[in-house]
Every structure is written in C-alpha cells, then in structure tokens.
C-alpha cells in the first residue's frame, strides 16, 4: 500500500550512530529499519543518552513500506536457505547475508500477510509501561492469532507508534467560488464536482467511504446486504477525473481537479507548501492506519547463530518501543513526522502544545475519531466481493 514518503535523512541518523561511544564489539547492538521521516532524528540521540548501558544504535531509513515488507521476505528466505545448507553440511556460497534488523517499521495494512507468511514474531511488550498507557483500540489492532486475524489472545504482533487517517483535501480558491466547503463524504456527490475529484486507487478505501456515507462500516463483510451500494459507487465514479494512490495531489495543485481523497501524511506537507490547499477529516468518520514496530521472525532462527537475539538486544528493543510511547517522544513524533502518536489521543487536549490546534488533521475531534475505523482483516469471501465490485465499476467507467 503506497501511501506516503518519509522524513528522517540517513545522514542525520548515521551521525547519531557514530556518536554512540565505544567499540561495537564491547556493546549490545540495536538494528532498526524504519520508514524515512517516521521518527524525528533527534529522538535517536535522546534515546541513546537515556540508556543505562553502552549500546551501538544502527537506524537505517527505508523509503517505502513495500520495501520493508520485501526485506522481511528476503531475510526469511535467506535464513531458510542457510538452514538447508547447514543441514546437508554444504558450504554457504554467495555474498554475505546482510545483518537482519531487530525491529522494522510495518504498516498495519501488511500485518495479516506478514503473520501468515511467518515473517514476524510476537513481541514481549505487555509488561511495558507504555503498553499499559496505550489506548485500547491500538492494543486491539495488534492482538492477532497465528493467521493474522484479530483475536483476544495474548499474542502481540506489533507496537503502534504513529497513526494517520484518510482525509478530504480541496482547493480553497475553487470552493470560495462555489460558496461552500466540504465537510463529509456526502459532499463528493455534489453535481458541481463532476469530473473534479481525484480518488485513491484502492477498493477498501473507496468502497469504504461509500459505505460510511450510507451509514455502514468500512469493514462490512457482506456487500450484497447493503442497499444502493452499487448505484452510489457508480454515481461517485462519474464524479472522478482520475484514480491514483501516488499522484492524487498533483492534479489538484495544477488545478486540474478541485478535491482529492488521500492520506493525511501526504496532505499535511502539501498544505505547508501550497497555501491554497485545505483539508478536513470527514465528520461521519474515516479510515485510520498505523505504523508499527515489528520483529522479524528470522531473529529467532536457532540454527542461525548470527541472527539469534540476546538478552541485551531484547532489552534494547523493549526500551526503544517503550521510549516511543513516553509523553515527550510521543509529542515529538506527532509534531515532526506528519502523523500522531497513539499516546496523544489519551492526553487532555488542553495539555497539548498550540501546534496541535493549528493542525486538526493530526488529531481530529474525539467524536470524529470515535466514528473512524482501522481497515481490519476481512474473510476471503468478503475480500472477493470487494475486488469483484471494484473491477465491475472500474470497467463500467473506463
């Protein structure tokens, strides 16, 4: 799911690593592959200064979530190949296997597949102070069974450290001429917006917003039971000029479209660069997403001594995760990464910095947030319904 690009530069993170002190052989090492710009660079230094033991910190920014997922698959394949060679006492031929990260960033959208493919393993974090402070909806998002389905089991597969939402962005100048501004999904069907809308090229997002407009959940499992869904979706598609999950803002910047549905982490920086762009979180609720810390399964491969986690590394992983959930780091993540920490939602708005009130996309009103939903795993039968309806509508409007 390509939803955004990321902020922290590799040079700054490398500097934090170089200043961490003693020889790497004398200290435990924490390797983290994180989405670029999802963590403010200064937090790495703050974390290092707060450690009670010497440690080498290696933070490697990655451009896209898809790249992270591909790396998880590669690490597992390499570990399995090495296991087979050792089992048959064959020499390990080829280039040296890259060091596997202790933690990586993964979007919640990828979590089900990563669990099913055994790319990640459960985290031991339920005793952490930060977990106890994490709002329940974010805990439930990462409590899954071994097939990646939501479950009340004690297994925790990820640590949410920031989140965002799907929003409506629009050109202020064009809507001043129209004499109104969009506030909810139903505004997308207004006749003056025909051929003026950019939509995400994503069935769960688009069908989901139509469901929300009709008063149903993004996670509806039987689309056949929803009256007028097909007709409403077809009417919306007649409003749309283009579909893209990567370039939906550019046409609006160029005035080719007047409104776009997109992800808050794309829209927030665009607002800073283009004064005519405004945005709103739909009043009836919207789709939410979260970035998570996850632990690659290959770390626990006992036949691969290089990848076996030590007690020190386990402790460092837990400390980093817990650090991200503390109030000060949570505020910095929220203010400098174009996405909010889940911890922020449990803080009294009056206690938050003025900057949060300047950017309502970061923290929508609690009533809107209560009506919003994560895109949860669906049964295979439901997935096929979404795909079939999406294909049908797109063919009719092509």
Residue 191 domain flag:
yes
Q: What is the pTM of this model?
A: 0.87
- Would 223 be classed as within a structural domain? yes
Q: Containing domain of residue 264, as a range? A: 165-288+365-396
CA distance 128 to 253: 44
In a domain, 5, yes or no: no
pLDDT score at 280:
97
> Which of 2-16, 25-39, 318-332, 384-398 reaches the highest mean pLDDT?
318-332
Higher-pLDDT residue of 240, 349? 240
Is there a single domain that holds both residue 20 and residue 65?
Answer: yes
Check which CATH number belongs to the domain holding 73 and give it.
3.40.190.10
Q: Cβ distance 156 to 288 under 8 Å?
A: no
240 half-sphere exposure, CB direction, 13 A CA radius: 22
Determine the average pLDDT of the residues in 99-121: 95
Per-residue model confidence (pLDDT) at position 49: 94
- pLDDT score recorded for residue 109: 93
Residues 375 and 250 in one domain: yes
Quick: pLDDT tens for 152-205.
888 999 999 999 999 999 999 999 999 999 999 999 999 999 999 999 999 999
Helices and strands: H and E segment counts in the chain: 16, 11
Mean pLDDT across the chain: 87
Report if residue 113 sits inside a domain: yes
Q: Are residues 31 and 142 in the same domain?
A: yes
Is 50 exceeded by the pLDDT of residue 5?
Answer: no
- Is the pLDDT assigned to residue 95 strictly greater than 90? no
Asked whether residue 61 is domain-assigned, the answer is yes
Residues 201 and 239 in one domain: yes
* Statement to judge: residues 241 and 267 lie in one domain: yes
**Whether the predicted pLDDT of 356 surpasses 80:** no
For residues 260 and 222, membership in a common domain is answered with yes
Q: Which pLDDT value is given to residue 18?
A: 42
Q: How confident is the model at residue 303 (pLDDT cuts 50, 70, 90)?
A: very low
Q: Give the C-alpha separation, 209 to 205, whole Å.
A: 6
Calculate the alpha carbon distances from 45 to 17, 19, 63, 369 in Å: 8, 9, 21, 33
pLDDT of residue 89: 54
φ/ψ (deg, to 5) at 148:
85, 5
CB 166 within 8 A of CB 264: yes
Query: For the chain, how many structural domains are there in total?
Result: 2
| C-beta separation of 148 from 116 below 8 A | yes
Q: Could you tell me if 233 and 340 lie in one domain?
A: no
Evaluate whether residue 103 is within a structural domain: yes
Please check the confidence at residue 84 and state whether its pLDDT lies above 60: no
Please tell me the predicted confidence (pLDDT) of residue 322: 98
Give percent above pLDDT 70 in the chain: 85
Indicate whether 177 and 246 sit together in one domain.
Answer: yes
Q: Is residue 3 part of a domain?
A: no
Lowest mean pLDDT among 53-57, 113-117, 267-271: 53-57
Span 191-249, pLDDT tens digits: 999 999 999 999 999 999 999 999 999 999 999 999 999 999 999 999 999 999 999 99
Q: For the residues 268-273, what does the mean pLDDT come to?
A: 93
Provide CB contacts within 8 A for 137, sequence distance 6+: 374
Domain identity same for 260 and 382: yes
- Residues 96, 178: one domain? no
pLDDT of 78 reads 82
24 within domain boundaries: yes
Distance between CA 251 and CA 248 in Å, rounded? 6
Q: Which of 9-18, 73-82, 273-282, 294-303 has the highest mean pLDDT?
A: 273-282
Residues 379 and 238 in one domain: yes
Question: What percent of the chain stands above pLDDT 90?
Answer: 73
User: Considering only 42-46, 282-286, 391-395, which range has the smallest mean pLDDT?
Assistant: 391-395
Task: Give the per-residue pLDDT at 184.
Answer: 98
Give the pLDDT band of residue 263 (cuts 50, 70, 90): very high
Q: How confident is the model at residue 86 (pLDDT cuts 50, 70, 90)?
A: low
Based on the fold, state whether residues 256 and 381 are members of the same structural domain. Answer: yes
């Amino acid at each position: 799911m390509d939803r955004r690009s990321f902020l922290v530069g590799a040079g700054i993170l490398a500097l934090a690593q170089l200043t961490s002190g003693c020889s790497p052989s004398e200290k435990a090492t924490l390797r983290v592959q994180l989405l670029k710009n999802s963590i403010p660079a200064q937090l790495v230094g703050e974390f290092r200064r707060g450690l009670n033991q010497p440690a080498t910190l290696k933070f490697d920014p990655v451009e896209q979530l898809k790249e992270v997922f591909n790396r998880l698959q590669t690490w597992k394949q390499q570990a399995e190949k090495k296991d087979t060679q050792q089992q048959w006492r064959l020499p390990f031929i080829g280039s040296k296997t890259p060091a596997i990260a202790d933690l990586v960033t993964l979007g919640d959208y990828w979590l089900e597949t990563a669990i099913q493919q055994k790319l990640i393993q459960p985290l031991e974090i339920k005793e952490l102070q930060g977990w106890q402070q994490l709002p329940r909806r974010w805990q439930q998002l990462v409590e899954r069974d071994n097939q990646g389905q939501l479950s009340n089991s004690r297994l925790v597969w990820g640590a949410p450290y920031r989140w965002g939402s799907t929003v409506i962005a629009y050109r202020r100048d064009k809507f001043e001429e129209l004499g109104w501004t969009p506030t909810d999904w139903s505004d997308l069907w207004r006749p003056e917006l025909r051929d003026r809308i950019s939509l995400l090229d994503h069935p769960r997002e688009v069908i989901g917003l139509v469901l929300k407009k009709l008063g149903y959940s993004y996670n509806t499992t039987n689309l056949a039971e929803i009256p007028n869904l097909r007709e409403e979706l077809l009417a919306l598609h007649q409003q749309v000029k283009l579909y893209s999950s990567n370039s939906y803002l550019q046409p609006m910047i160029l005035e080719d479209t007047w409104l776009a549905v997109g992800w808050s982490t794309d829209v927030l920086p665009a607002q800073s660069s283009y004064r005519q762009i405004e945005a709103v979180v739909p009043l009836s609720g919207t789709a939410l997403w979260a970035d998570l810390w996850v632990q690659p399964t290959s770390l626990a491969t006992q036949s691969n001594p290089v990848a076996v986690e030590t007690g020190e590394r386990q402790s460092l992983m837990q400390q980093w995760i817990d650090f991200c959930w503390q109030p000060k780091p949570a505020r910095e993540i929220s203010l400098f990464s174009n996405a909010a920490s889940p911890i922020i939602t449990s803080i009294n708005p009056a206690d938050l910095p003025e900057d949060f009130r300047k950017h309502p996309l970061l923290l929508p009103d609690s009533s809107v947030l209560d009506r919003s939903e994560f895109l949860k795993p669906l049964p295979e039968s439901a997935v096929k319904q979404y795909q079939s309806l999406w294909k049908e509508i797109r063919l009719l409007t092509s």
